[in-house]
Every structure is written in structure tokens, then in C-alpha cells.
Structure 1
Amino acid sequence: MFANLINEKNQTYKNVKVGFSWTEMFFGFWTPVFRGDFKWACFLVIAEIIFGSFTWGGGALLVTFIFAFFYNRLYVKDMVKQGYKPADKTSLNILNSYHYL
């Protein structure tokens, strides 16, 4: 499911995914890098290095799997902090139903 966000200050639109992040699960820290979310990309790189080094890489896979449940919520909350708001009533209802707002 997707929701539309708008930043009224500079009139930019974002179409954001709501729910489980399949891209995060398959691509790990590259998902926040391509979205320009470098705070969470750095967090993931450090967590994957720490947990992956003790488990021959298995811990890094576990980190990306667990983080896939939370990443879209964190990304939307960061966007709201930057001034983005739901662009329409449907997006508002979607974000409220998933408890993103």
C-alpha cells in the first residue's frame, strides 16, 4: 500500500510505501541510500558489520530482515518531521490506520 506526501513549503511530492519493506529485506542498507536517508543507512551499515562479523554474515541478514518490519514507518516519520503532510484524505486514512501519524 502506498501513501502520498506533500511538502507545502517547496511543493515536492513523495509516494511512500506503507507496511513491510521488501526492498529493505532484499537490498539491506542500499534502500535508505537510494531514498537519500543517510541516517538510517549508516545505522544499518554499522549494525550489519557488528552482527555480521560475529556470525559469518548471518547476523547481517537477520538485521535486514528485522529492520524490514520497521523501516517504512521510520522513513515516513522522518518525512513528517521534515514538513511533509498527507497529500489527500486517502493517504491520511492509510497513514492513520498503520499508526504512522
Structure 2
Amino acid sequence: MHVQLVNAAGGLKEVKIGFSWTTFFFGFFPALFRGDLKWAAIMFVAATAVGVFTLGFGAWLPGIIFSFIYNKMYVKELLEKGYRPANVQDQASLQKAGIVAAFEAVPRT
């Protein structure tokens, strides 16, 4: 499921809620391409650390774990940076996914 987020300057981002297939298959690269350098670095370090301790065999394990949580973390950080749901349906989707707790005022479209 995708939702649209807008910021005060009118910038629009369409983000996915739920499992991140791109993170599952490509590891830290989706975060890197989104400009989310903090989480890209965390994912890279986690994969490297697990890989070192398992002689490379376990480097895929952090990718699987982050696949379940990365999209939610990314949306939460966008909301903290000032993005808001573009409409009431997007707000309801975020609330249903457990990303936002209560209805807030959203701009009408």
C-alpha cells in the first residue's frame, strides 16, 4: 500500500507501507537511493558485522530483519521532518498501520 506525504513547501513523496521487498533483495541500497544515509549506514554496518562473525554466511540476516521494519521507520522520519499525509485516506492508512496514533488535521485535496 502506498501513501502520499506532503511538506509545507508543497513537496510530495509517495511512500510504501509494509514489507520492503527492495530492502529484502538489495539490502542497504534502497535507503541509500532514497537519501536516507543514516539507515543505509546502519544497515551496512549491521550486515558487515554479522557477516564478519559468520564468515559471510549471515550477512543476509540483517537484510531480512530490516525488510520488515524499514518502510515504517522511513515514514516516521519523514513525519518528524514535517511531512504530513496528503489526504484523509492516507492519514487513515497510516493510522491503520500503527504509524500515527490519532487523526490530525490534514490539508484537503
CA drift of 1:57 comes to 2.3
Quick one: which amino acid aligns to residue 93 of structure 1? A
Gaps of 5+ in 1: none
CA drift at 1:54: 1.5
- The whole-number CA distance in structure 1 between the counterparts of 2:98 and 2:13 is 19
Query: What's the counterpart of residue 30 of structure 2?
Result: 31
Q: Unpaired segments of 5 or more residues in structure 2?
A: 101-109
Aligned-residue offset at 1:77: 0.4
Larger radius of gyration: 2
Q: How far did residue 98 of structure 1 move?
A: 0.3
CA deviation vs aligned residue, 1:24-44 (integer Å, no higher than 9, x gap): 000001010000000000101
Looking at structure 1, the residues matched to 18 and 70 of structure 2 have their Cα atoms a distance apart, in angstroms, of 9
Report the AA paired with residue 3 of structure 1: V
Q: Number of aligned residue pairs: give it.
A: 100
Cα RMSD of the aligned pairs, angstroms, is 0.7
Q: Counterpart amino acid of 1:84?
A: Y
Helix, strand or coil at the partner of 2:18: coil
Q: TM-score, normalised by structure 1?
A: 0.96
- 1:6-25 pair list within 5 angstroms: 6-8=6-8, 10-25=9-24
Higher relative contact order (CA 8 A, sep 6+): 1
% of aligned pairs identical? 43
d(CA) in 1 for partners of 2:41, 2:54: 20
Q: Where in structure 2 are the equivalents of 1:1-101 lying within 5 Å? A: 1-8=1-8, 10-101=9-100
Amino acid of the structure 1 residue aligned with 2:77 = D
Letter in 2 for 1:49: T
